[in-house]
Structure formats: C-alpha cells, structure tokens
Chain A
Amino acid sequence: MTYPSRLIEEAVNEISKLPGIGKKSALRLVLHLLKEDADVTHLLCRSLTDLRTNIRYCVICHNISDGEVCNICSGTHRDHSLVCVVEDIRDVMAIENTQQYNGLYHILGGAISPVQRIGPSDLNIESLCTRIQNHNEIKEIILALSTTMEGDTTAFYITKKIKEAFPHILISSIARGVPLGGELEYADEITLGRSIVTRAPYNV
C-alpha cells in the first residue's frame, strides 16, 4: 500500500505491530485519531507512556501491581495457604472474575516449550520454589495450566520439582470437564472422555 504521507505510513507501521491488527485496521485507527481532537491522541500517548514506565510486577507472585507487592498478595482477608499457579496474567483475571477463589497466585509467564525456545529458566519456576521455602504458611499448590501438551509438560515438571524439595506440600490440579448448563451430547468427545476417566465421587 502507498500512503499519502510518510507520517501516516510510520504510524500505520507501528500500530500494525500489535497482535491482531493488520495494515488496514491500523490505517483506520490512524485516520480516526486524526479526525478526533488532538487531545485524544495526546491522552492516549501519555497513558501508554505512563503504563510502560510506571508498571510494576509484584515481587511475590509476578502479577501486575501498583506497588512492590500486589493487592492480592497483601490482602489480609485472603487464604495465604493456597497458591494457584497460572501461565498468564489473563488467567488471574479470569479466575478472580469467578469470585470463587480466595487464595493467592503465582504467574509463570508462559509454559515450557523448547520448540519456542522457552525453557524452565525463562519462567518464574525457581521463584515459586523460593516462595514455598520462605512462606511456611503455604500448604497447597493448585495447578491451573492450559490443557495443551506444553501445559501438561509444565505441570509435570513443576510437580516433580516441588515433590522433591517440599514433600509436605499438597499439589492439586483444576478439574477439567463438561461445561455446566450444557447437554452431554454437545461436549467434545475428548473432554467428555477425560471427564469419565477422572470422575469424582458424588456427594449427596
């Protein structure tokens, strides 16, 4: 595509580096900003710059945080004996939205995948072990990783590490099964198969 101005071309190039945005959408966004008040663009730029320079990560769980320790880790009403291990900050947000979990988190920052050049040392696994070591109140680690091969590998690896170093820690994994409110015949076969194999006692 040829652009009427070098300024537009540069802006389009930068914006289209974002995930899910191609050149066409980037151009639409650029033209939109030009149509709006200059303030809109200035505010956007300022908030992005602020975000990038002032963002901090919790030193305990690696969640995004305004201070050194995040609200969850410093929450006195939360159950500090439970730590839920997730791959990504979005997973924390998803679980928090359920309002069903009152423990803490630990964010790995991804899953092990040599093919993508991601090894255990690229993830916050070492810091999980240090955390267990330093926080005697931790009793249980809940693994909430994706149901991919990489997620499974990471879960196995972490379990092995923790079991060796801290045999008293309980390790559990979130249940994986049939969606609620759905009819069985619509569940995909692999999920359904797994749910049957890992069936749970029925409590009346």
Chain B
Amino acid sequence: MILQQLHMLNFKTYFDCKAVFSEHINLITGHNGAGKTNLLDAIYCLSMTKSAFANSDSNLISHGKNFFSLRADFLKNDKSNVLQYDIVDGKKNISHNKISYSKITDHIGEYPVVLITPYDTDLIRDGSEERRKFFDAIIAQTDKNYLQELIMYNKVLKQRNVLLKWIAEGNSIDNDLIDTYNHELIKKSKIISAVRSKFIEQYIPFFKSCYRHICASTEIPDIQYSSQALELNFATRFKNQTQKDIATQRTSMGIHRDDFVFNLNDKPIKQFGSQGQQKTFVLSLKLAQYEYIKHHKHLKPLLLLDDIFDKLDDERVLNLLSLIAQNTFGQVFITDARPNHNATLVNKLSGNIRIFEVTKGNIKPV
C-alpha cells in the first residue's frame, strides 16, 4: 500500500499544502514546531478516522478556520484510490473513491498504518485502559464485528451504571431489569474476552520475533492477558457482585477491567524493566502490530516513525534502520528535527529515499 499524494486544506499548520511521496522512504525534516508530526497525524487520520494526538476533531482545523479537508491518493493492490476526510460545519465525512461511508467505522482497517512515537512507553506506565485501547485498535482492523461488539458493550455498561445510580437514589429496584443488564454484560464479556484471548495468542509469536530482531539478548518478553470473563465461575461471580455494585454505583466486573500484563523474564516490566528494556518492549509491540496486520490483511501498512532516532548509535535504532533498509516494510515516513542526523540517516538507509523540508505550512522536496 502506497500513499502517493496528499493534499491538506486548513489542517493544523497546513492551510493549503500538496506533497508527492516516495513509495519507499520519506524523510521529513524541519525544526521543532514546523509541522512534521502534524503531517504524520494527517496520514494517521486518513487511516484510523481520528487523530492520534488531538482529542477532538475540531482541534484539527487550523486556528481561525471553520473546516478542514484531507485528500489522498493511495495505491492499494495495484489500484488507485482516492480517500477524502473532511469536517465542514462540524460534520465529519469520509469518502472512498467519492462514495461516503454511511458508518465511518467501516473504514477502519482498510488503509492500515502503524505509528511509532517517543511516547509509546506510556503504554507500559499508564493504566490498563491504554493497553486495552492499543490492542482493541489492532483487533478492530482485522475484525469488523469486534468493534461493534465493543461499542455495544460500552453502551450496555453505561445503561447499567445509570441504573445503579438510579437505584441508589432510592428508586425501587426492578430485579428483572438488573438481571437483563447482567445477562447482556456477561454474554458480551465472554464473546469479547474470547476474541482478545485468541488474538493475543496469535500476536505473541510476532511480538517475540520482533523483540529478537530489535535486541539480540536472552531476555524473555511475554504478554499475559488477564480477564475475569475467562474464569470458570464468571457469570455467578458477576451476579453475586450486584449488591456491592449498587452500593458503589459502578460495575465492578466485566471486560472493561481486563488488562494485558507486560513481563520480562516473568517479572512485570513496569516495575522491574530498565528504560532501555521498556523502549525495546514497546518498539517490539508496535512492530508486531505491523507484522500482525500485514499477515492478516495481506498488505503492508504505512510505517510512521515520529522522532524516534534520538541516538543513532543505539543498538535498537541500528537494527530498526537495517530492517527498513532491507525493505522489510513498505512505505515509511520518518521525521527528525536535527540536521546533523539527516546525512547519517540517508547513509544508513539507501534505497528510494526522498527528503522533505517542512517550513511554515509547506512541505518541499529537498
């Protein structure tokens, strides 16, 4: 899959900017704040239907403007495709070859990308919600039904929590209604945990192999999926918990409490891993995401690398660069702010490499 051309209108720092990319390596240079990450975010938006960084679509519109529009030409399976994503009058529209999606979520997974940033280690440090989001996004790209199940689960959960509050406010308890929500959450928890569990089983071999490529050591990394819903007496425990749930006004069991535990040599990397080990771990998580999607969709996602080459003599960085140079990945976008890095990067990469310089709202080939 290749992003051939991109046209951005009123997207963050870009008022009206067109760029034509190399089908292999694109090195995006420019000083801090120039808009390098914004370019990667535009590409990310076209793939995932929302920003990797901004928490609301309206933050993507250039300050002072009232709409934005992204238009891209993608080559996929030897066919040319036009993707357009815009927000006009607060309304979001995504179209594929001029046909608008009636359900925007249908687009997710059609043009996959993998984004690697310096913030990825947050995945280890943050709460379980971030890890669920990370893995859910991968599963959703290869399983359309999964995303719908998750959306439904969250709606039912919200209804149940409001009902718990309702009861706590002194409204009479309708046991049949609580039972109804219990039943739905138990059923959906079982479905979702089964998918997550099957997924992680298939994902781990990719992950371990990526870890070995990035760091030649004897450390054994592993991921443990933990879910109450996989336990034998889950349904009974869930129901028995109802009185306590009414007291606390929240649902204490279900797949919204799942976690993925990251271990190195059987110890949680969150507590015991060095900074370097954590970096290797998350880089491998992302590269495994790439391999997993490639395997399941039979196409190479775009690889977006944002500011990750901080030390060019670092073993991890060298191994990643050699993987890129060997054309392990398809099209790659690399951002880097430091001019002294450019020559070194170009030397190490070779291949069809195009260098761009980003200055105030413009992207120019160098």
Enumerate chain A interface residues (CB-CB to B < 8 A): 112-115, 119-121, 149-150, 152-153, 156-157, 160-161, 188-190, 193
Known: A114-B166, A193-B145. A153 touches B179 (CB 8 A): no
B177 touching A149, Cβ below 8 Å: no
B145 touching A160, Cβ below 8 Å: no
Known: A113-B159, A153-B159. A160 touches B179 (CB 8 A): yes
Known: A115-B158, A120-B177, A161-B176. A153 touches B145 (CB 8 A): no
Known: A119-B174, A119-B177, A120-B174. A189 touches B145 (CB 8 A): yes
Hey, what's the 0/1 contact readout for B162-196 against A, CB within 8 Å counting as 1?
11001000010010110111011000000000000
Residues of B within 8 A of A121 (CB): 174
Cα distance A113–B156 when bound, in Å? 10
Enumerate chain B interface residues (CB-CB to A < 8 A): 103, 106, 144-145, 148, 152, 155-156, 158-160, 162-163, 166, 171, 174, 176-177, 179-181, 183-184
Residues of B within 8 A of A157 (CB): 176-177, 180
Known: A156-B180, A161-B176. A190 touches B148 (CB 8 A): yes
B144 touching A189, Cβ below 8 Å: yes
Cα distance A156–B184 when bound, in Å? 9
Residues of B within 8 A of A114 (CB): 159-160, 162-163, 166
Closest to B149 in A: A190
Residues of A within 8 A of B162 (CB): 114-115
Min CB distance A117 to B, Å, is: 8
Residues of A within 8 A of B145 (CB): 189-190, 193
Query: Given A119-B171, A119-B174, A157-B176, 18 more contacts at CB 8 Å?
Result: A112-B177, A113-B159, A114-B163, A114-B166, A119-B177, A120-B174, A120-B176, A120-B177, A149-B156, A152-B184, A153-B156, A153-B180, A156-B180, A156-B184, A160-B176, A160-B180, A189-B144, A190-B148
Cα distance A153–B188 when bound, in Å? 13
Cα distance A156–B183 when bound, in Å? 9
- The listed residue (B103, B158, B163, B180) touching A188 by CB distance below 8 A is B103
Min CB distance A177 to B, Å, is: 16
Residues of A within 8 A of B159 (CB): 113-115, 149-150, 153
Min CB distance A167 to B, Å, is: 16
B181 touching A153, Cβ below 8 Å: yes
Residues of B within 8 A of A189 (CB): 106, 144-145
Closest to A152 in B: B184
Q: List 24 A-B contacts (CB under 8 A).
A: A112-B177, A114-B159, A114-B160, A114-B162, A114-B163, A115-B159, A115-B162, A119-B166, A119-B174, A119-B177, A120-B174, A149-B159, A152-B184, A153-B159, A156-B180, A156-B183, A157-B176, A160-B176, A160-B179, A160-B180, A161-B176, A189-B106, A190-B144, A190-B145
Cα distance A115–B165 when bound, in Å? 10
Min CB distance A145 to B, Å, is: 13
Closest to B148 in A: A190
Residues of B within 8 A of A190 (CB): 144-145, 148
Cα distance A56–B154 when bound, in Å? 39
- The listed residue (B103, B152, B171, B179) touching A149 by CB distance below 8 A is B152
Cα distance A45–B249 when bound, in Å? 49
Min CB distance B225 to A, Å, is: 24
Residues of A within 8 A of B155 (CB): 149
Closest to A156 in B: B180
Cα distance A78–B241 when bound, in Å? 47
Residues of A within 8 A of B163 (CB): 114
Cα distance A149–B157 when bound, in Å? 11
Closest to B152 in A: A149
Residues of B within 8 A of A119 (CB): 166, 171, 174, 177
Min CB distance A77 to B, Å, is: 36
A153 touching B166, Cβ below 8 Å: no
Residues of A within 8 A of B174 (CB): 119-121
Cα distance A36–B106 when bound, in Å? 49
Cα distance A119–B176 when bound, in Å? 12
Min CB distance B147 to A, Å, is: 10
Cα distance A37–B94 when bound, in Å? 47
Residues of B within 8 A of A115 (CB): 158-159, 162
Cα distance A90–B156 when bound, in Å? 26
Min CB distance B16 to A, Å, is: 32
Residues of B within 8 A of A188 (CB): 103, 106
